[in-house]
Amino acid sequence: MGRQGAEETLATIPLVADSAAQQYLRSVAMGLVAVAERPSLPWNFYLLDDASVNAFAFPGGYIFVTRGLLTHMNNEAELAGVLGHEIGHVTARHTATQISRAQLAGIGMAVTTIASPEIGSILGATVGQGLGLLFLKFGRDHEFQADELGFRYMTRDDYDPRAMSTMFAMLQRQSAAGGGGRLPEWQSTHPDPENRVARNDQRVTTFRGTPDSMMLGRERFLRRLDGMVFGEDPRQGYFEGERFFHPDLRFRFVIPAGWQGSNQPASVIGVSPGKDAIVALALAKGTSPSGALRAFLGQEGIQAGPSSASPVNGIPAATSEFTATTSQGTVTGVVQFISYGGRLYRQLGYTTPAKAATYAAGLRQFVGSFAELTDPTALNRQPNHLRLVTLPRGMTLEEFYRSYPSVVPVERVALINGLVAGQVIPRGTIMKQIR
């Protein structure tokens, strides 16, 4: 189950391309695994290229950490605390009890797959639910136990356990501030069992070791972050109003005016204001648009309407209207398969029969808008990066922000540096700047 879940994740979210960063994550994690109860599991650790602040685990030792989480931490001990927590979920078999083969079989494509049992719930879904089954939400008892185990593992590996408190405090601040990314945030998948910070502070007071002599690893951790992408990466696709651009894959399209767009892990979707119609683009299986269309229309419960094999904006395509009858009702819409850039894409739009006339023009516009991206401005759009600054003198947070401006607000700079307004920062401190 864990391997299948990991494969689904890796098929939809890219890894950070920096092999040194991947190896660093694994080296920290394996030190913790060595002192955990199940060191012989086939442990795998991955750094995902996503702006969200999260980490999650699958059964069998498949653990993922996001780039966004790393850029919000300030030392290696905080990373060890998160990794220890996720390892604890695995060693305590929380992930195995939370997931079933039936759930795994439905992971990934629910928001854009036409399959009879799913359509009714899809029409009622809000933006952001496409991978809801993938990121398990644990109960508070499981979270408390994982915190306890994470504390055990990090202290056995000689990390300062006080870093778990600063990490939890950062996650609380981040949850209140909100963030980006295509994955859920930590607080949505790891509910707070009462007061995490106070509980960990209590563990520290009864700990028999000497935290002052244990590892923080601040400088070596921060050096790993220098130059890392911060926030959303437009190279993975971005919206400007109703227009969607993907610089790396060199395509563009539009969703209907006034709809809410979301660049999800497995698809790009648009949802009508009334949540009663949806459009989506995703990768498709098959070798040709016509073959993929035949397979789609051949599914049980789907009735084909008028079809076309005409290109769209000079791109090979196969398009058809359709009606799908399910146990939860009937939907009607349009589907189009496009062969572009060595990949096969599926554009899908549908609604209820009662709203078909209302949304027909918008759905047709959506499938007719897929085109090559040629605008140099869009093609050259670049992400923001995290840079390190060593302070030449002591200064307040606000003075740092004025002297070393960032493209994010001062409140975000305070958050990612673990500081508060008005705090005086000593000379020689390594600080994060976003530019």
Q: Are strands 243-246 and 260-263 parallel, antiparallel or unpaired?
A: unpaired
Domain ranges of the chain: 2-99+136-230, 234-379, 384-434
Q: What is the mean pLDDT of residues 127-150?
A: 70
Asked if pLDDT for residue 105 goes beyond 90, the answer is no
How far is it, in rounded angstroms, from Cα 44 to Cα 6? 9
pLDDT in tens, 355-384: 999 999 999 999 999 999 999 999 999 999
Is residue 34 exposed (0-12), middle (13-18) or buried (19+ Cβ within 10 Å)?
A: exposed
Mean pLDDT rounded to a whole number for the chain: 90
Query: 234-379 sits in which CATH class?
Result: alpha beta
Where does the pLDDT of residue 193 fall: very low under 50, low under 70, confident under 90, or very high at 90 and above?
A: confident
For residue 106, the model assigns a pLDDT of 44
Enter the pTM of the model. Answer: 0.89
Residue 21 neighbours by CB under 8 Å, 6+ apart: 47, 70, 224, 228
Query: Percent of the chain having pLDDT more than 90?
Result: 78
For residue 333, the model assigns a pLDDT of 95
Say if CB 175 and CB 227 are below 8 A apart. Answer: no
Say if CB 58 and CB 5 are below 8 A apart. Answer: yes
* Fold agreement (234-379, 384-434): no
Where does the pLDDT of residue 103 fall: very low under 50, low under 70, confident under 90, or very high at 90 and above?
A: low
Asked if pLDDT for residue 354 goes beyond 80, the answer is yes
**Architecture category of domain 384-434 in CATH:** Roll (3.10)
- Locus of tokens 């220098």: 226
pLDDT in tens, 378-417: 999 999 999 999 999 999 999 999 999 999 999 999 999 9
